[in-house]
Amino acid sequence: MSQAVEGRANGLALRVEHGGLHRHVYARFHRTYCKCGREATHRKNIFGEIVGIWYKREERSGGAIVKICILASSSAGNSTFIATDRTRVLIDAGLSRREIAKRLAFIGEDIQALDAILVTHEHSDHTCGLAAMAKVREPQLPIYLTEGTAPFIDWGESAPVLERFQAGRCFPVGDFDVASFTIPHDAADPVGYTLAAQGVKIGIATDLGYVTDSLRVHLGGTDLLLLESNHDLEMLRVGPYPWSVKQRVMSRKGHLSNEVAADFIENDLDVRVSTLVLGHISEHNNHPELVRNMGLKALDGRALFTRLVVAEPGVQSEVFWY
Ligand SMILES: [Zn+2]
Ligand SMILES: [Zn+2]
């Protein structure tokens, strides 16, 4: 009997039928057709090499899908929404509670339906809305953060529910298997995250001075990756910042430049990444078009199916479905 599931994932038409998979890729090649065994299907590049694995939707428990929206990503504010149909989390709350509520409502989500907030580090562009967000519902929203980060956040009058963990630890949050990993940044105990649910893995890696080996390992197998592309080195050099700040940004505990992000894409980007979002773009020392050109050029040499998205400062992204 024919069993078909149709949907859209990452802008790609998807149809699962008879345990096989039909996939139409409208990116680099038109109408790529794959059909293979029960477990998963694969994608090939123009040389016939397998460059990605696509898992059948039936294997994602109950047919659930993962929804992602980058509410904001820049030096002026960061927050990313990631959800299954049962678990809704934010990574960082670097916008006001009101702005987060507004941006969630725009994608049909209720701020009171959130299940948790995961914090990367204490800098205000990631935490300025955190204390207010903790009180957004009763019982209070649990806040996951590293042992070293917790003392550096001003909670004001509130006594939030904190779930402290050691950087590098993995833990479950509802449907998600969360993995944290230390990132080199001038904060107390900063981490990046991957969240995996129903065969889909999302990676968040911003605010890092350089690409560590641990980062490369953790970001392996991600389907959607938010990667920092903070500044253009030349713009930073001639830009308005005082020299001490320029040095900080460029340091190994600062932010990732376009040049280093390009190097990562050329050499380390996992073949599985179907959406690469370049974000945390500096409003003073970078430009989205520079980032886009860099990203496209770097991807050009890879013959991947990866779609490039540039997170413009202050602008909420589209919704990504997996
Ligand atoms: Zn930041
Ligand atoms: Zn930071």
What confidence tens digit (pLDDT) does each residue in 109-121 have?
Answer: 999 999 999 999 9
Neighbouring residues of the ion ligand 2, judged by CB less than 5 Å:
123, 207
Cα-based torsion angle of the residue sequence 263, 90, 66, 218 in order, rounded to the nearest 10 degrees: 40
Average of per-residue pLDDT across 129-141: 93
Q: What is the pLDDT of residue 29?
A: 29
Residue 54 has pLDDT above 80, yes or no: no
- Give the Cα separation of 59 and 198 in Å (integer): 7
What confidence tens digit (pLDDT) does each residue in 204-249 have?
Answer: 999 999 999 999 999 999 999 999 999 999 999 999 999 999 999 9
Check: CB of residue 227 under 8 Å from CB of residue 264. yes
Q: Which ligand is nearest to the CA of 72?
A: 1
Q: Which two tokens stand for residue 153?
A: 């956040």
Q: Which ligand is nearest to the CA of 152?
A: 2
Check: CB of residue 54 under 8 Å from CB of residue 42. yes
Q: Residue 92 Cα, ligand 2 centroid: separation in angstroms?
A: 11
Mean pLDDT of the chain: 85
- Give the Cα separation of 228 and 277 in Å (integer): 8
What confidence tens digit (pLDDT) does each residue in 80-94 have?
Answer: 999 999 999 999 999
Q: Residue 260 Cα, ligand 2 centroid: separation in angstroms?
A: 17
Q: Which ligand is nearest to the CA of 92?
A: 1
- Give the Cα separation of 231 and 74 in Å (integer): 11
Q: What is the pLDDT of residue 47?
A: 62
- Give the Cα separation of 321 and 7 in Å (integer): 9
Strand, coil or helix: 108: coil
- Give the Cα separation of 301 and 297 in Å (integer): 7
Q: Which two tokens stand for residue 305?
A: 């199916």
Q: Residue 207 Cα, ligand 2 centroid: separation in angstroms?
A: 5
Q: What is the pLDDT of residue 304?
A: 87
Q: Residue 122 Cα, ligand 1 centroid: separation in angstroms?
A: 9
Q: Which ligand is nearest to the CA of 206?
A: 1
Strand, coil or helix: 154: coil
The structural domains of the chain, with segments of one domain joined by +, span 4-59, 63-321
- Give the Cα separation of 176 and 198 in Å (integer): 8
H helix or E strand, kind and range, residue 24: strand 20-24
Average of per-residue pLDDT across 250-255: 94
Q: Residue 230 Cα, ligand 1 centroid: separation in angstroms?
A: 9
Q: Which ligand is nearest to the CA of 186?
A: 2
Cα-based torsion angle of the residue sequence 22, 308, 71, 155 in order, rounded to the nearest 10 degrees: 110
Q: Residue 238 Cα, ligand 2 centroid: separation in angstroms?
A: 22
Average of per-residue pLDDT across 274-289: 96
Percent of the chain's residues with pLDDT above 90: 74
Q: Which ligand is nearest to the CA of 94?
A: 1
Q: Which CATH superfamily is domain 63-321 in?
A: Ribonuclease Z/Hydroxyacylglutathione hydrolase-like (3.60.15.10)
Q: Which two tokens stand for residue 154?
A: 């001003």
pTM: 0.81
- Give the Cα separation of 182 and 186 in Å (integer): 12
Q: Which ligand is nearest to the CA of 254?
A: 2
Q: Residue 206 Cα, ligand 1 centroid: separation in angstroms?
A: 7
CB-CB neighbours of 242 under 10 Å: 8
Average of per-residue pLDDT across 93-108: 97
Q: Residue 168 Cα, ligand 2 centroid: separation in angstroms?
A: 18
Q: Residue 94 Cα, ligand 2 centroid: separation in angstroms?
A: 11
